[in-house]
Amino acid sequence: MKTQAKASAPAKVILLGEHFVVHGAPAIVLAIDKRATAQAQLRRDKQIFISSKAISSSGYFSNGKFHVQEGGKQAKTKLEPIYKLARNLLNLSKKDVGINLKIDSSIPVAAGLGSSAAVAVASAASLNHLLDAGLTKDDIFTMAFEAEKIIHGNPSGVDPAISTYGGVILYRRGEKIRKLDVAVDLPLVIGDTKIERSTGKMIAHVGDLVNRYPVVSDKIIQVGEAVVNRSIQALEHSDLETLGEMMNLNHALLCAIGVSNEHLDRLVYAARKAGALGAKLTGAGGGGCMVALAYPENLDAVAEAINQSGGEAFITEKTVEGVRVES
């Protein structure tokens, strides 16, 4: 039996379709080159020790009881989804052992880049490797999705899906994931407002709106779906200009359902003014990140404009690789 194993999984950017994807519409999402890493190690006792530098939390679970080491009262809430995932994997593998799980991540937390899903996917993969549990990628996705439900309430599953499979995917709840073949580079600038927000609360806000005004919101969701469908065509034809316009349209729809704010809008408008082909918030909104698409020669100017407007910008590209075991 192995004594340790390591795995990593990528962050993501939702290019189009966030929130509407919770309500049955499709979304286009891509993996980016920032990763979360999980290192799993066997322990001599039966305890499960989890530590994460990114969220400054650590502690161990012993017979279901939590003992905090770092992070105070919130540490249990933050670490419990990963504990449940680990417990589940131990039960599946029928191995009566303890583990240390060390999580490391360069993905901004609570910023709309799928950090929690990447952590869950990397954790499942490292434990799967350590315990020889025989999970497939589909199983890893399912396990990470369960952890995401504990954290976010009613997520669509798009985050654990892209973190598991990588590349560019078309995701619709309950349907088979479709990989999109995108030949063209997608030069992107991400702008972080540095305002943390809760994905679960943003999902609940939109859910409430949908319940109160079903006729109106159904129409908006339908337009969201049309925007995604037109964007698939644009991606297939390497037509970045249309894709940019679709991103702008998508941002307007997200404003309509109340998930943008003045911080995100400021960065979005600054990016467009600096030559972006399109710009929109990405993820749950209310803070977190926006994304701009630009020709390579304009990337620096767009990033600079975002920085000048109070955001923190970085340039990124799509990455093919999803979850992977590290040597």
Under the rule (CB under 6 A), what is the footprint of ligand PMV? 14, 18-19, 21-22, 112, 114, 155-156, 158-159, 199, 202-203, 283-284, 288
Q: Which two tokens mark 236?
A: 């297939």
Q: Which residues contact 234 (CB under 8 A, 6 or more apart)?
A: 240, 242, 243, 246
Minimal distance, residue 268 CB to ligand PMV, in Å? 16
Dihedral class, residue 158 (left if φ above 0, else alpha if ψ from -120 to 50, else beta)? alpha
Q: Scanning the structure block, which residue is given the tokens 């869950």? A: 120
Residue 33 vs 45, nearer CB to ligand PMV: 33
Residue 59 vs 167, nearer CB to ligand PMV: 167
Residue 27 vs 182, nearer CB to ligand PMV: 27
Minimal distance, residue 115 CB to ligand PMV, in Å? 8
98-105 vs 48-52, strand pairing mode:
parallel
Dihedral class, residue 313 (left if φ above 0, else alpha if ψ from -120 to 50, else beta)? beta
Minimal distance, residue 246 CB to ligand PMV, in Å? 17
Minimal distance, residue 255 CB to ligand PMV, in Å? 14
Residue 60 vs 141, nearer CB to ligand PMV: 141
65-70 vs 48-52, strand pairing mode:
unpaired
Minimal distance, residue 15 CB to ligand PMV, in Å? 12
Residue 108 vs 167, nearer CB to ligand PMV: 108
Q: Which two tokens mark 32?
A: 């980016």
Which residue number is nearest to ligand PMV in terms of Cβ?
283
Q: What's the helix, strand, coil split of the chain in %, to 5?
A: 45, 25, 30
**DSSP H or E stretch at residue 80:** helix 74-93
Active-site residue (options: 33, 139, 159, 192): 159
Residue 105, strand partner residues? 36
Residue 257, burial from CB neighbour count under 10 angstroms (0-12, 13-18, 19+): buried
Residue 50 vs 158, nearer CB to ligand PMV: 158
Residue 171, strand partner residues? 27
What distances in angstroms separate CA 239 from CA 200, 236, 245, one per listed residue? Answer: 34, 8, 10
| Rounded Cα–Cα distance for residues 163 and 119 (Å) | 9
Q: Is the dihedral of CA 265, 269, 270, 271 positive or negative?
A: positive
Minimal distance, residue 164 CB to ligand PMV, in Å? 14
Active site residue 104: no
Q: Which residues are catalytic?
A: 159
